[in-house]
Structure 1
Amino acid sequence: MELNEYQKQAMTTCTESSNNFSYMMLNLVGEVGEFASKVAKMIRKEELAITNNELISDCRFPELCRQEDEMQKEAGDILWQLAGLCSAMGWELEDIARGNLEKLASRKKRGVIVGDGDNR
């Protein structure tokens, strides 16, 4: 699926009261927080570990697979909110994605892929 098609279809589920910058921005932060909270709780319960910057989970156990499914759903909610925020701004997701890849390729080419700020 193309990003702009996702954005268009996603916004068919947007309510009128949600179709604005304030809601989309604030709820995007909320959805990212929900995702982070699920990860934190799994770490607390020793169902997940972060070792050498990798998430370690064992889906041989059904409860862990359910948690992974829940995390994927939260990631989908984050994507929906980002699509909504872009729509509220009059932007298309594909333009945002393309611009981001161009920015990153330029940084890599110039040897400044790691650092602070966008204008380097």
Structure 2
Amino acid sequence: MELNEYQAQANRTLAGNEHVLTHLSLGLASETGQIIELVNKYTFQGNDLDKGKLTHELGDLLWYLSQVAQWADIPFDDVATENLAALAKRYPNMEKK
């Protein structure tokens, strides 16, 4: 699936109002916290890493990220392309696959 396609399909589930950016920002923080909690339990409490839950939470985080970009009229493919370009500058010896 292309990221822009994901962004457009995910946007169908966003209920818009004057507080949409606040909702999205708080959602990013909340989902990040849930991912951190899974990693914390794995790293410091000896739990197995629950890949099912991690996949679910990463998906929720992806939704919020895509919708912040949608709100700002930024194609999600552009976000990924920009990030890869920044990584290439930061890590010039990075292997390409």
Greater Cα offset, 31-40 or 12-21: 12-21
CA distance in 1, matches of 2:19, 2:4: 17
SS in 1 for 2:64: helix
Cα distance change on mapping 1:44 and 1:102 into 2, 3 Å = closer
Q: Does 1:97 align with 2:80?
A: yes
After the TM superposition, which segments of 4 or more aligned residues of structure 1 sit over 6 Å from their partners?
Answer: none
Mapped pair 1:2 → 2:13: no
Which range moved further: 91-100 or 18-27?
18-27
CA distance in 2 between partners of 1:7 and 1:40 (Å): 30
How many residues are aligned here? 94
Name whichever structure is richer in strand by fraction: 1
TM-score (norm 1): 0.68
Deviations 1:46-91 (A, max 9, x none): 124xxxxxxxx5xxxxxxxxx2201110000000000011111111
> 2:80 is aligned with what amino acid?
A
Q: C-alpha separation between the residues in 2 aligned to 1:37 and 1:69?
A: 14
Q: How does 1:1-120 map to 2 (within 5 A)?
A: 1-17=1-17, 20-48=20-48, 57=49, 67-109=50-92
Deviation at 1:107, TM superposition (A): 2.7
Quote the RMSD (CA, aligned, Å): 2.2
Structure 1 residue 20: Cα displacement: 2.2
* Greater gyration radius: 1
- Supply the AA of the counterpart residue of 1:29: A
Q: 1:96 to 1:46 in 2, by over 3 A?
A: same
Q: Which moved more, 1:23-32 or 1:76-85?
A: 23-32
Amino acid at match of 1:72: T
Query: Gaps spanning 5+ residues in structure 2: where?
Result: none
Contact 1:19/1:88, CA 8 A, preserved across alignment: no
Q: Displacement of 1:108 after TM fit? A: 2.7
Structure 1 position 30, deviation (Å): 1.1
